[in-house]
């Protein structure tokens, strides 16, 4: 693994989960590993958890993290090849990424999708331009189509909360939202849950089918009630249309999870990646109740990032 | 003291002042104390001195400081309980503060007042939501109604410049401004000066009465000339109306301190928390003359912050 | 050298170049030198390379770098003396710089020109106000009229790529642009190239004469083809009018360098400070071809900054 952009294979995932758990037990065991190494964290979009957890993870490895908000602190980037740059963009990704590649040992990039140019989003165009031109290992801090550090933290959280004997039933349920939201978290969660061997059911209103490249192997059930029955973990997430790309097709608030929805899932734990719009995506009752794992997921982001950075340092 | 939000008692204040003076003498004596500890500095508003001095204070204690500008780098926060988040706010304070509480050992928060919702400002609503939901020690970097790190630096400065034998006469005088300015610095200064046992006189135009909860024990004199007579320290500060909340009631430039105003206060030293609007709040003549303590106050911000962080680390 | 703002003399330049090459060979040889020292990096304008390379340089010297984006994170600064601050500016440079001077060991400042007030730009007014009032060593991260860290990195790059026996022919050529661009990089490059004893030719369309204070000693040739003949290094840069101050006088795309332009300069290397507008200032063909030194220049920014900071620490 040179880059960390997606689920690779079960063995690697299990190794990363185990490493994350080790760091959670003792965050400072590898403090010498990152000495004299630098990670550059580049944000093309806002971030709270990802920003802080990545800096903390680096610090716990004795590594220097330098954070840059592009477009605000740096220069507006041109992403397309061969264009004459006589418009608003000031620097080409080829040059910016090339320079960053010579300044850092690892880059970590956040680059959301446009939700308007489906082809470019599906190719993870912006994120891959960083990979193409930086020449060093790149970690995804959420790209157009995946959020693998979130998913790794989610897998760690499921690992911590599952029973030993029974294969857990994991349900990914769509939730209402007022904005067009990317597919990255849902895609990645499906990819990792299936890849890690969990029994995954996905439920959403008609029309909200996700990209099949991520959901192959999951059980798709349009009836939310049926999907939730017997769930051990319920991952709540909004996403916008994929076939009808970037569109809001439904705002039916009955899809918002409450205690009532879990009548037939007595032991179900609730997961969400945050930020969450309370009482729109998920009720206060759920978020603040005993079923909620959201704080544990967020806390595990530190150790997921630490595990991945450490793993990449091992490969170099 | 779990949190540092206000004046507690004279003994604690004296201890903090002494510790600040110790750090001023040798900034690095406690460099091992903060090892493997982290402080998260959250700014909902701009900052120069506070931002830099807090980072420096942490560094001198061997601690990592991570600075975040919410709303620009993070997500727009919802502060109210129980609402359906179907408007502009993206993350609830309960979740953001909860996560930050699990990421850091100490949080430091800057949250200015609205100056429009008096009730919410008086309850220090935004700031207290961080305390309520973070679950870890919180340091005020200026809240809606107090700026205690500034006041501690001010007390250190008075301590350094007062005579040994005589109780100093301290005057807090209102100054003109063109914008509606919060009460936090004035409130805190009164609270700390009175609490530390100084002889405090407050002077302002009619209508600019401060919240009595902060000024009880001070001598209120509406005649500025009379108030200034015999002063040892004159603290200059604008604030907007408190009874007529957040309003500008007076812009009388004769209230701006010049050398003439201090005819009957030959030894008076001039204090201001900065930033200061020159020749509007305070004349160049005053700020750059031998009476001015403003640079010393600003410099002492480092050691005030270092003292408070150190004190909190001792309690943990 | 207390401050680093411009070319001083050949001996100092050669010493700085040599030190930069030493750090490039082993970045960590002076890691103890900056212990318990702090550099404050103040940006009044955007930055990618300068921001990251200065932080990295400080880190490699064991020094703490604190970065602040004024106007966004801090307060809008008043630069003029004696004014009544009853408009938009919130803090006077005298106070801000004074405080920063008491917080840091070295300040590093980026302050672009207005390109409208020629007199103020020529006096490097904003930048010099920081020097005047901070009282500590100041490093230019590009001022209104100079960008000396860029030029030092450029001299290091020329040193690495020149033959030993022959004095290299260096050409600074104007290139087209759609925006009014400062003169700082062109001025500084001319100042350093001439000062370091290189054979410098400057070429530009009629009307684009640079300030003679920087170009004295250079060969000015308005015919680009003639200027480029036999060049060893071609430095490509746009600048706006100097006599017709801040104006765009020409957008003739035939000035943009392509392989054709270098028919009579077979060994010429191409330099640019970045960011570059591709296919407007300089063709993809040039930037990505074997002649290009732009990545090497950008990489050398780290060691140029490290050399300068180290040199200043030696003087203190």
Per DSSP, the three-state class of B191 is: helix
Q: For residues A173 and A277, state if they share a domain.
A: yes
C-alpha span between A301 and A306 (Å, rounded) = 8
Average pLDDT over residues A235-251: 97
User: CB–CB of B75 and A302 under 8 A?
Assistant: no
Instruction: Tell me whether residue A5 is in a domain.
Output: no
Q: Look at phi and psi of residue B82 and say left if phi exceeds 0, alpha if psi is from -120 to 50, else beta.
A: left
On whether residue B3 sits in a domain, the answer given is no
* Total domains, chain B: 2
Strand C169-174 relative to strand C199-203: parallel, antiparallel, unpaired?
parallel
Q: Are C121 and C68 in a shared domain?
A: yes
Instruction: Name chain A contacts of C283, Cβ cutoff 8 Å.
Output: none
The pair phi, psi for residue C278, each rounded to 5°, is: -65, 140
| Domain-located, residue A204 | yes
Among B51, B298, B302, select the one facing C73 at the smallest CB separation: B51
Cβ atoms of residues C313 and C5 within 8 Å: no
Residues B132 and B157 in one domain: no
Distances (CA, A) of A140 to A66, A69, A92, A210: 16, 15, 20, 20
| Cis before B275 (ω within 30) | yes
Report the alpha-carbon distance of residue C152 to residue C13 in Å, rounded. 8
Reading the block at residue B268, the tokens are: 């008076």
Residue of C274, C279, C288 with shortest CB distance to A83: C279
A4 domain-assigned = no
Give chain A as a 3 state SS string. Answer: CCCECCCCCHHHHHHHHHHHHHHHHCCCCCCCCCCCCEEEEEECCCCCHHHHHHHHHHHHCCCEEEEEECCCCCCCEECCCCCCCCCCCCEEHHHHHHHHHHHCCEEEEECCCCCCCHHHHHCCHHHHHHHHHHCCCEEECCCCCCCHHHHHHHHHHHHHHCCCCCCCEEEEEECCCCCCCCCHHHHHHHHHHHHCCCEEEEECCCCCCCCHHHHCCCEECCCHHHHHCCCCEEEEECCCCCCCCCCCCCCCHHHCECHHHHCCCCCCEEECCCCCCECCCECHHHHCCCCECHHHHHHHHHHHHHHHHHHHHHHC
With contact defined as 3+ CB pairs under 8 Å, the chains touching C are A, B
pLDDT reported for residue B165: 80
CB atoms B69 and C73 under 8 Å: yes
**Nearest in space to C143 (alpha carbons), one of C236, C5, C50:** C5
- Given this model, what pLDDT does residue B113 score? 96
CATH number of domain containing C281: 3.40.50.1370
Quickly tell me which residue has 């000031």 as its tokens. A90
Torsion of CA C189, C194, C200, C206, to 10 degrees: 60
pLDDT computed for residue B166 by the predictor: 86
Residue A28 pLDDT class (50, 70, 90 cuts) = very high
Residues C19 and C139 grouped into a single domain = yes
Name every chain B residue with its beta carbon within 8 A of the beta carbon of A287. 94-95
What pLDDT, in 10s, does the model give residues A116-174?
A: 999 999 999 999 999 999 999 999 999 999 999 999 999 999 999 998 888 999 999 99
Q: Give the CA count within 13 Å in the CB-facing half-sphere of C113.
A: 25
pLDDT at C46: 86
Query: To probe the interface with A, which of B67, B72, B73 has the most A CB atoms within 10 Å?
Result: B73
CA distance C61 to C37: 9
Contact across the interface for B278 and C92, Cβ inside 8 Å: yes
pLDDT band, very low/low/confident/very high, at C74 (cuts 50, 70, 90)? confident
- Do B89 and B168 lie in a common domain? no
Q: Is the pLDDT of residue A257 over 90?
A: yes
- Please tell me whether C301 is known to bind a ligand: yes
Pairing of strands A269-271, A233-237: parallel
Same domain for A126 and A190, yes or no, is no
Optimal mutation site among A52, A280, A302, interface B, most CBs of chain B within 10 A:
A52
pLDDT digits (tens, 9 = 90+) for C143-160: 999 999 999 999 999 999
Distance (Å, whole) CA C34 – CA C17: 20
Q: Which of A43, A46, A49 sits opposite B99 (nearest CB)?
A: A49
Token duo for residue C255: 């000035």
Q: What is the structure's pLDDT at A70?
A: 82
What pLDDT, on a 0 to 100 scale, did the predictor assign at position A72?
Answer: 65
* Both tokens assigned to B27: 């900034």
C265 plus C308 within the same structural domain: no
**The two structure tokens encoding residue C217:** 């000693």
CA-to-CA separations, C79 to A268, C98, C103, C111, in angstroms, rounded: 61, 13, 20, 12
How much is the average pLDDT of A245-264? 96
pLDDT at C156: 98
Q: How far apart are CA B272 and CA B180, in angstroms?
A: 17
User: Is residue C72 very low, low, confident or very high in pLDDT (cuts 50, 70, 90)?
Assistant: low
For residue B99, the chain A residues in CB contact (below 8 A) are: 48-49, 274, 295, 298-299
Supply the pLDDT for residue B75.
80
**Do residues A242 and A123 both lie within one domain?**
no
Looking at the partner chain, which of C64, C82, C84 has a beta carbon nearest the beta carbon of B280? C84
Q: Is C148 known as a binding-site position?
A: yes
Written as six digits, the tokens of C209 are: 């004469």
- In contact, A255 and A248? CB cutoff 8 Å: no
Residues ≥6 apart with Cβ < 8 Å to B69: B43, C72, C73
The band of C166, judged by pLDDT with boundaries at 50, 70 and 90, is confident
Q: Is residue B1 part of a domain?
A: no
Q: Check B275 against C95: CB less than 8 A apart.
A: yes
Q: Provide the shortest C-alpha distance from residue A83 to chain C (in Å).
A: 7
Give the mean pLDDT of chain A.
96
Structure confidence at residue A71 (pLDDT): 65
Q: Is the pLDDT of residue C76 over 90?
A: no
Are A292 and A157 within one domain?
yes
Q: Measure in Å the smallest separation between the Cα of C166 and chain A Cα atoms.
A: 30
Q: Which residue in the set C46, C279, C298 is minimally distant from A75, CB to CB?
A: C46
- For residue range A42-64, what is the model confidence (pLDDT) as tens digits? 999 888 899 999 999 999 999 99
Q: What is the pLDDT of residue C230?
A: 97
Q: Is the pLDDT of residue A219 over 80?
A: yes
In terms of domains, do C305 and C219 share one? no
A 242-261 residues with CB below 8 A of C? none
Which residues are within 8 A (CB) of C87 and not within 5 positions of it... i.e. 6 or more apart? none
A99 touches chain C (CB under 8 A): yes
- pLDDT < 70 positions in chain B: 1, 71-72
Question: What is the domain extent for residue A115?
Answer: 10-146+301-315
Nearest-neighbour CA in chain A from C217: distance (Å): 33
Which residues on chain C are in Cβ contact (under 8 Å) with A92?
Answer: 275-276, 278
Strand-pair partners of C161: none
Same domain, yes or no: A162 and A293? yes
**Under a CB-based contact definition with an 8 Å cutoff, are residues C131 and C1 in contact?**
no
For the purposes of burial, counting CB atoms within 10 Å of the CB of A179, is it exposed (0-12), middle (13-18) or buried (19 or more)?
A: exposed
Q: Is A61 within 8 Å of A34 (Cβ atoms)?
A: yes
User: Cα–Cα–Cα angle for A143, A149, A151, nearest 5°?
Assistant: 100
Q: pLDDT tens digits for C118-138? A: 999 999 999 999 999 999 999
Of A178, A276, A279, the CB nearest to B95: A276
Tell whether C167 and C274 lie within a shared domain: yes
First to last CA, chain C: 10
Angle, helices C10-25 vs C184-195, to 10°: value is 100
Give tens-digit pLDDT for C95-126. 999 999 999 999 999 999 999 999 999 999 99
Non-local CB neighbours of A6 within 8 Å, separated by 6+ positions: A140, A146, A148, A188, A191
CB atoms within 10 A of CB C77: 24
The rounded distance, in Å, linking the Cα atoms of A102 and C260 is 30
The β-bridge partners of C172 are C202, C235
Rounded to whole angstroms, the Cα distance separating C232 from C270 reads 9
Using CA atoms, how far apart are residues A150 and C253, in angstroms rounded to an integer? 48
Residue C215 has pLDDT above 90, yes or no: yes
User: For residue A32, is it within any domain?
Assistant: yes
In a domain? residue C4 = no
Sign of the alpha-carbon torsion through A254, A258, A260, A262: positive
**Best interface-test mutation with A: which of B36, B63, B65, B102 has the largest number of A CBs within 10 A?**
B102
A277 is in an annotated binding site: yes
- Residue B173: name the closest of B230, B239, B115, B247 by CA: B239
Does any domain span residue C1?
no
Dihedral of CA atoms B7, B10, B12, B16 in degrees, nearest 10, equals 80
pLDDT at C1: 61
């Amino acid at each position: 693994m040179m880059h960390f952009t997606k689920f690779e294979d079960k063995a690697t995932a299990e190794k990363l989960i185990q490493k994350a758990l080790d760091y959670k037990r003792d965050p400072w065991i590898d403090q010498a590993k990152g000495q004299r190494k630098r990670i550059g964290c580049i944000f093309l979009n806002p971030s709270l958890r990802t920003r802080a957890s990545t800096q903390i993870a680096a610090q716990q490895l004795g590594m220097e993290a330098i954070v840059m908000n592009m477009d605000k602190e740096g220069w507006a980037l041109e992403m397309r090849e061969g264009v004459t740059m006589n418009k608003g963009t000031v620097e080409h990704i080829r040059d910016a990424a090339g320079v960053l590649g010579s300044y850092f040992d690892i880059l970590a990039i956040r680059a959301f999708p446009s939700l308007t140019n489906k082809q470019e989003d599906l190719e993870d165009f912006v994120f891959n331009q960083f990979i193409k031109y930086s020449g060093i290992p790149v970690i995804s801090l959420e790209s157009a189509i995946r959020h693998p550090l979130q998913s790794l933290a989610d897998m760690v959280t499921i690992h911590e909360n599952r029973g030993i004997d029974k294969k857990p039933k994991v349900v990914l349920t769509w939730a209402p939202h007022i904005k067009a939201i990317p597919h990255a978290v849902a895609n990645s969660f499906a990819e990792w849950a299936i890849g890690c061997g969990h029994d995954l059911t996905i439920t959403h209103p008609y029309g909200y089918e996700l990209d099949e490249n991520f959901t192959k192997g999951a059980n798709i059930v349009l009836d939310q009630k049926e999907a939730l029955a017997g769930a051990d973990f319920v991952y709540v997430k909004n996403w916008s249309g994929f076939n009808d790309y970037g569109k809001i097709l439904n705002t039916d608030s009955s899809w918002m999870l409450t205690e009532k929805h879990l009548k037939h899932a007595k032991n179900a734990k609730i997961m969400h990646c945050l930020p969450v719009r309370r009482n729109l995506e998920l009720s206060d009752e759920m978020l603040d109740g005993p079923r909620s794992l959201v704080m544990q997921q967020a806390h595990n982001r530190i150790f997921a990032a630490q595990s991945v950075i450490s793993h990449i340092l091992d490969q170099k």
